[in-house]
Structure 1
């Protein structure tokens, strides 16, 4: 596979996943009382709403910029697991497809990291020479 195309594909997934979470986190902050009330209605503490909103907003920004990509991807993966186990619990597959997609795009970021056009690449460890194993 052409490595440039693979990198562009990963970049697009990272950026658009990040944008989705920036929007969702911002929306939660704009209606924080309602979000807290919703959290309480499904058995979660209301104080968790601003925490989740912050993780979504900051995590989304981190993904777009490629800063702490693995950490942001892991944190957002945890958020999506929480969504599926609480707010979406018991819903049929047709109602959770988007949430599953977000779960796995975040898991991908946690596993792969920022790579192409990411601030992370300027701070990462250099690969030793001769260790170019391609998968």
Structure 2
């Protein structure tokens, strides 16, 4: 039996996965070297841009498909927390004339934490590989 909560979680999972996939793709399409330079300007190692972009791209696709949702959502939460602290907090919740605020990052962080805690199994590949004894 499909519950309303499972349908809601599916919508959130698809959105989260798609959002991260698109952000990761944009980093590679826009020139990952530019992103690495931006990371270095923040005092972060440039190679971290490759790690983040790969997690966003591959992890976004995996979450979209429901594969490793809890683990990848934890990685998303770490990335979002880092982005908020290093970049977005200075602009405030709603942003300023130079950059957007951290309201979207906070929403994505909360969705990610939800999946770390609750997971999402409706139409998820994880169900094929990790069937619980209760099913």
Asked if Structure 1 and Structure 2 have the same fold, meaning a TM-score greater than 0.5 normalized by the shorter chain, the answer is yes
Where do 1:83-102 residues align within 5 Å? Answer: 83-94=83-94, 95-102=101-108
- Which runs of 5 or more structure 2 residues have no equivalent in the other structure? 95-100
Contact 1:114 1:121 in 2 (8 A): no
Shift of 1:3: 5.7
- Which runs of 5 or more structure 1 residues have no equivalent in the other structure? 130-135
Question: Residue 118 of structure 1 aligns to a residue in which SS?
Answer: coil
Q: Give the number of aligned pairs.
A: 128
Contact 2:67 2:124 in 1 (8 A): yes
TM-score, scaled relative to structure 2: 0.88
Task: Report runs of 4+ in structure 1 exceeding 6 Å deviation.
Answer: none
TM-score, scaled relative to structure 1: 0.88
Shift of 1:89: 3.3
The yes-or-no answer on 1:22 pairing with 2:28 is no
Q: CA RMSD in A?
A: 1.7
CA deviation profile, 1:46-85 (whole Å, cap 9, x unmatched): 1111100001111101110000111111111111111111
